[in-house]
Amino acid sequence: MSSNTEPRTEKLTFRRYKDGDYTWKNFQQKIFEGDHSHKCPTYIQSTPPCQGSCPSGEDIRGYLNIVRGMEKPPEGQSWQEYAWRRLTQANPFPSVMGRVCPAPCETGCNRNEVEDHVGINSVEHFLGEWANANGMQFIKPEASTGKKIAVIGGGPAGLSCAYQLALKGHAVTIFDEREYLGGMMRYGIPGFRTPRDVLDTEINRILALGVQTRLKCRVGTDITLDQLRAEFDAVFMGMGAQAGRALPATDGDAPNVVTATAFLRAFNDGRLQHVGRRVVVVGGGDTSIDVATVARRLGHIEHAKPTDFEGAIAGYLAHDVADVSLKHGAEVVLTSVFPIDKMQANKHEIEQAQAEEINIRGGLVPLAVIKGPDGRAIALRVAQCEAKLAGGKLEIKTLEGTEEDIPADLIVSAIGQAVDFTGLEAFDNGRGAISADRSYQVQGQQGVFAGGDVLRPHLLTTAIGQGAIAAESIDTFLTGEEIGKRPKIDVHVFDLMRKYVEKGLDLSKVEEPLRGTDSASGVIHNFDNRSDRFVIPHKDLFLGHFQFTGRNKRDFVTLTRDSALGNFEERIQALAESAAVAEAKRCMSCGQCFECDNCVVYCPQIAVKRVPKKQATTGRYVYTDYDRCVGCHICADVCPTGYIQMGLGE
């Protein structure tokens, strides 16, 4: 094999090695001296970083492999349904989350090392829309366990927990203080981001499993927790954190200084029809962007009474002249203690807000509310600052002499949420939250579990994942078994045994653990599923296999300052089927064989071979003839997914 010992001057097109490494010389040595290690190929299934980054724990690689056509569905089932069912094993809200999830999975995607991440969120969106259009329903369990669970809160955590428990055959009743289910998905996100018909479809699909509801019933006041514990076998606390945090500024008690949760709830309830001419939003996260864009769309009315919108936000319908008077665009300013490029909000949403000429100003800390003679706020005093997170705490350094007043008719505090513990004070850990372990058991409370924003306000996808894990813990608790430790990597993973069943292969010949020799019948030789403890990094892949392939992006309707006024139409369009398939094909199937044949083609000893078709299935495509293998590890070097690793000891 020829080698090049000259220093490399051109930039590498992929990042398996760093510039300056003597890769060619070492590669030559590996080829000719690798057999001295006495190692041979092993087949290691690992968790890809997209799944490791998904708080819901979705089997992302699994459903992308189905969409791309690599993993075939069982007979009589379309690939769309099969992929949707794989996805919803973890997350029953693909259509909602495909729209609003900030997609941490895409940040973790190894394809970022090639050109750009896979549009996981857009494929999820497509599958959710397909399921809604085709009337997909979850499959009810055949038998009931006779166990009853009370779920407090009908938001993402409570609904996710109820869904998973219902699938296990338990009787579930959801208690929620509001008129409709959905929690922050309904009352904290505007309808032009989560269309209500879509949300209702996905919620009703859960209720169709037999989940009961008691709405307009607040646990802690209308009914006590002790009453629930007497009636039910277990309780899940997922009531969320729907109380807003007050503005941390002097004199912030003016009637036109409100929280983001109160503002968005008034809008989503239909009470809020217009805002003041000048709106200042304090925040920096996704919620603050939602408030700012809603304010831009509502606009103001020239001669409206301030008490109209203030009363609507306070919770009652005041006289509103929005239908009979001309609306004008509101001047919206959004401030954050962090610079714009360090704000927590989704980057795309920030760009959309700026396109609507919402004035986003980073590096400003609120100091005081300036009031007029009537006691109402007329401005927000701010100062430039330097902010950083240290040890989980926010540290803000105010720069003296930089104070300024931003005029305001309405000031909205979008700096966080709080839990309302009225009637449930015993569960407050002193920090405004509930304490629970990794299995989401509430400390010192037998049979009580919790998840979602009551633990710590975070993403919707985080609440969904916590609700699902809590459901598993509740199920174990109800059987009387000890709740063991959760795996290090807590996600839904590809199940090779399921493929055996679907393929019709004889499971009686499969030995446990799934290891053996190349001559053993019915054994996946030298296979190890490390998905519960290992996330495969990009350095373990052969990135040179992957060519530049641009993303298939969804269409977004970008509004301007003028076109945003009164526009409450959805801005995001789902991918067409062909585009969704093409996007799924960009997935590199990290940590699992995707049948590229590199190992078969490049093995100089003809030691790596395809599994006979009658015995092969997804996850079991190649095997090694160890009588031929010399341990040169070329197969591992050219494996794009990192599925082949060298092992078997020295």
Biggest CA pair distance of the chain: 92
Go through the chain and tell me how many residues it has: 650
| pTM of the shown model | 0.90
Residue 574 corresponds to which amino acid?
A
Does residue 300 sit in helix, strand or coil?
strand
Q: What is the pLDDT of residue 28?
A: 56
pLDDT > 50? residue 15: no
Q: DSSP secondary-structure letter at 223?
A: B
Torsion sign, CA atoms 266, 271, 276, 277: positive
Common-topology check for domains 148-241+419-478 and 244-416: yes
Report the Cα–Cα distance between both ends of the chain, in Å, rounded. Answer: 26
Dihedrals phi, psi of 294, to nearest 5 degrees: -65, -45
Q: H/E element holding 57?
A: none
Among 245-249, 342-346, 353-357, 524-528, top mean pLDDT goes to: 353-357
Q: What is the pLDDT of residue 86?
A: 97
Between these two residues, 520 and 194, which has the higher pLDDT value? 194
Does residue 583 sit in helix, strand or coil?
helix
β-strand 393-398 against 377-390: which pairing, if any? Answer: antiparallel
Under CATH, which architecture does the 244-416 domain have? 3-Layer(bba) Sandwich (3.50)
pLDDT > 80? residue 358: yes
Query: What residue has token string 């973890």?
Result: 90
Q: How far is CA 179 from CA 259, 266, 388, in A?
A: 21, 14, 40
pLDDT > 60? residue 198: yes
pLDDT > 80? residue 544: yes
Predicted confidence band of residue 13 (pLDDT cuts 50, 70, 90): very low
Q: How far is CA 222 from CA 183, 218, 435, in A?
A: 18, 5, 24
Which residues make Cβ contacts (< 8 Å) with residue 232, sequence separation at least 6? 148, 149, 150, 173
Which residues make Cβ contacts (< 8 Å) with residue 570, sequence separation at least 6? 192, 193, 195, 557
Q: What is the pLDDT of residue 58?
A: 97
Where in the chain are the domains?
148-241+419-478, 244-416
Q: What is the pLDDT of residue 625?
A: 86
β-strand 359-362 against 331-336: which pairing, if any? Answer: parallel
Predicted confidence band of residue 515 (pLDDT cuts 50, 70, 90): low
pLDDT > 50? residue 650: no
Between these two residues, 42 and 497, which has the higher pLDDT value? 42
Q: What is the pLDDT of residue 72?
A: 92
Task: Report d(CA 45, CA 307) in Å as an integer.
Answer: 62
Predicted confidence band of residue 25 (pLDDT cuts 50, 70, 90): low
Q: What is the pLDDT of residue 171?
A: 98
Between these two residues, 615 and 307, which has the higher pLDDT value? 615
pLDDT > 80? residue 30: no
pLDDT > 90? residue 257: yes
Task: Report d(CA 620, CA 500) in Å as an integer.
Answer: 10
Averaged pLDDT for residues 96-122: 96
pLDDT > 60? residue 33: no
Percent residues over pLDDT 70 in the chain: 89
Averaged pLDDT for residues 546-575: 94
Residue 287 corresponds to which amino acid?
T
Q: What is the pLDDT of residue 211?
A: 98
Q: What is the pLDDT of residue 620?
A: 86
Environment class of 502 (CB within 10 Å of its CB; exposed 0-12, middle 13-18, buried 19+): middle
Per residue in 147-163, pLDDT (tens digit) is 999 999 999 999 999 99
pLDDT > 80? residue 322: no
| 148-241+419-478 CATH fold | FAD/NAD(P)-binding domain (3.50.50)
Cβ proximity of 92 and 159 under 8 Å:
yes
Per residue in 563-621, pLDDT (tens digit) is 999 999 999 999 999 999 999 999 999 999 999 999 999 999 999 999 888 888 898 89
